[in-house]
Chains A and B, each alone.
Chain A
Amino acid sequence: MRETPTTLLILAVAVAIAAAPARASAPVKKKEVLYEARPPPFSDGIFPCSNCHDGKSMKPDPTRRELAFHDEQQSVFDHDAEHRWCLDCHDAQNRDVLRLASGAPVPFTESYRLCGQCHGDKFRDWRVGVHGKRVGQWDGEKTYLLCVSCHNPHSPRFKGVKEITVDGKTTIAPTLELLRPEPRPRRPDEMRGWKRPATAEGAR
């Protein structure tokens, strides 16, 4: 009986030695992990983009220019505006996907891979839950929010967010306005003789 642990140990070491060369020789291609995220916060009726950009009625024009259309993006565009324009991130051939710097297509639901190309430090934090927000279980399944749920990709500095519904699912969309704080707590003296105010405005 006393020998059992030793025997087991020797066996384990032998297995490890036998397995080690096999593991070392196999080319370790780190597979990119995909994260389950809430749906991207599209404006109403804008997606799929190929409804308009079908490649027939409108030919793709890859020259950098001020857009005549999409002025809702053009007017707020402040994402390294000096150097960037639409087709750096949007795919010219298939408008329903984004493109990486390598030219590889990325669906809108995985846009974090695109953002992560430049914002590697934030991407690293986001993956482990330090940057941004995850909901679900602290000890299990979590759902991520995409970068674009809080940062408008065309004007990425954080201002505020609101809750929206996309295809029946609740998600979060960035806004261009700052958040309004909830009512301040009541001071002790106010609490003593306090009556519920008639209007919501009176509560403040």
Chain B
Amino acid sequence: MTARKGFDVIQGEPEAADPSRRSFLRTAAAGAALGALAGCGGVSMDDVLRKHFRELSKDDLAKVLTKVERRNKERFGKDTRVTAEGPRPGVEFGYGLDISRCVGCRRCVYACVKENNQSREQPQIHWIRVLEMEKEHGVDLTHADLYYDPGAVPQPGKFYFPVQCQQCRNPPCVKACPTQATWKEADGIVVVDYDWCIGCRCCMSACPYGARHFNWAEPKLPAEELNPVQHYLGNRPRPKGVVEKCTFCIQRVRNGRYPACVEICPVGARKFGNLLDPESEIRRVMDTKRVLVFKEELATHPQFYFFYAT
């Protein structure tokens, strides 16, 4: 009879599961989750049971932000200001990079690291990667060098092609994420919620630009180099095991400032503005210059444009 009963239960699972068995399983799962949580430093039950970032109420969001600030204080001993400024209506960000001007000095790479609190070493994370290419071959990744190291730039016969997140309108990384930890905001910025990321790195393999980076180890960021002006979806310090990427300096641009890479560029090769404003410099670029997008054939429709001003 017991064998027969067991068979019955399996057969009738969708309709006639034993309610006591189901509730037992639920309790067991919750217990297992709690047990797993106890092993993760700094993660509390609230973090797991809270709603997705985009569904948070104002009060819940305030609580989450306060918690991030408190963790920053514990981790770095410094006061920080973490905001979650949302996208402005009527704004769609566009970025232009003048390939004919870039000299490959890598000032942008390090300005970005400083602004966005990346891990400095082991792992060393750079959101911008400047490729040295040959004029003879044009934009061709088979003739590109990331590790060029001459005494002076630009080198004759070379041009420089910085690559960072292209903020695609059709982002493969967002589609690949199994937990909806990454999404595209209304102003076009593709963001990551580091509390929601499970570190599966599916987005990294989906991204054709190599623009996503993984914290393989606990990020190493000296407290004195911490940028205290932070955005929840941007430059707040990341834990080990999450993916991060360029956000056009969301903490700056949502407040009207230029991204750090635009501000540092010594040759003015980087342009930034609102694509919906016909007077913005990015629109002037698109109206008057030869513009291209990187890996156009993949139909990712980037909001990041390369152009030749000369």
Contact = CB atoms under 8 A, between A and B. Distances in A.
Nearest to B263: A135
A161 B266 contact: yes
B152 interface: yes
A132 B258 contact: no
Given A138-B274, A178-B152, A133 B265 contact: yes
Contacts of A148: none
B171 interface: no
B268 A185 contact: no
A5 interface: no
Interface string B244-257: 00000000010011
B147 A136 contact: no
Per DSSP, are chain B's interface residues mostly helix, strand or loop, or mixed? loop
B257 to A, nearest CB: 6
B256 A185 contact: no
Contacts of B309: 125, 130-131
A147 B154 CA distance: 20
B104 interface: yes
A186 B146 CA distance: 10
Contact size range, A:
35 or more
Given A179-B152, A180-B152, A184-B148, A131 B126 contact: no
A181 B256 contact: no
B124 interface: yes
A131 B281 CA distance: 10
30 contacts: A129-B284, A130-B281, A130-B285, A130-B309, A131-B268, A131-B309, A133-B265, A133-B267, A138-B253, A138-B256, A138-B280, A139-B256, A139-B274, A160-B266, A178-B103, A178-B152, A178-B153, A179-B153, A181-B105, A181-B106, A181-B150, A181-B152, A184-B106, A186-B121, A187-B147, A191-B122, A192-B122, A194-B121, A196-B121, A204-B149
Given A131-B268, A138-B274, A178-B103, 9 more contacts: A125-B284, A130-B284, A130-B285, A134-B281, A135-B263, A139-B274, A181-B149, A184-B149, A194-B121
Give the 5 A-B residue pairs with the shortest CB-CB distance, closest first: A133-B268, A129-B281, A182-B106, A178-B152, A137-B256
